[in-house]
Amino acid sequence: METLTTGRAQKKAVTRKSLAGAALRLAMERGLDGVTVEDIADEAGVSRRTFSNYFTCKEDAVLAAERDRTGVLVALVEARPAQEEPWEALRAAIAQLYREWPVPDVEWMAQLRLLRRHPSLLARQAGDQFSLERELTAVLAARNPELGADAARLMASTFLACVRTGIALWLESAGTRPLPALVDGLLSRVTVGTAESGQGT
């Protein structure tokens, strides 16, 4: 029974990845407005109903890979040693993410940034960023209760700003500057003070 359950889970993961890949590929080729859910399902070789089992709309499918990466990032921060300072845990987690999830191709990332300018994607991406900041804030506060909610949120927000800036610099350099080094270099410039017990609510 366990083997059967594992097999089903693996099959679902493969189908989800196939749909997400098809959605992103078609959207880059035709523009988001030129792609329908039916197109994505056909490209992935599944039915329209199967698509609906995994995603509510084509925008969710396009953003799936990015959401997967951010989910892994949060899990990596949670898994860092308890004695590690919150900021160092963030630095170590993003470095590990880049090691385990290879950095995408520069051209692909540039195309994706253009695609994200579509209003419907921008709205969802803004919501995803807010959710990620909130999740990281909760993880940081749980790791060090003395940090306080305000400081934890500021730390999460600053961390994400450094990552976004690193990606922008990487794209502007056409990939000649390694993304992991760019991001860590920016993170190393941030001076993190010692939080006072009871700070924030």
Q: Are 32 and 120 in contact (CB under 8 A)?
A: yes
Superfamily of domain 2-57: Homeodomain-like (1.10.10.60)
Please state which architecture CATH assigns to domain 63-188: Orthogonal Bundle (1.10)
Q: What is the pLDDT of residue 196?
A: 43
Q: What is the pLDDT of residue 2?
A: 58
What are the structure tokens assigned to 59, written together?
A: 């925008």
Q: Could you list the pLDDT tens digit for every one of the 201 residues in the chain?
A: 556 667 788 899 999 999 999 998 999 889 899 999 999 999 999 999 999 999 999 999 999 988 999 999 999 999 999 999 999 999 999 999 999 887 777 767 776 776 778 888 888 888 999 999 999 999 999 988 889 999 999 999 999 999 999 988 988 888 888 999 999 999 999 987 644 434 443
CA 182 to chain centre: 17
Q: Are 171 and 143 in contact (CB under 8 A)?
A: no
Domain ranges of the chain: 2-57, 63-188
Nearest by Cα to 108 from 161, 167, 67 = 167
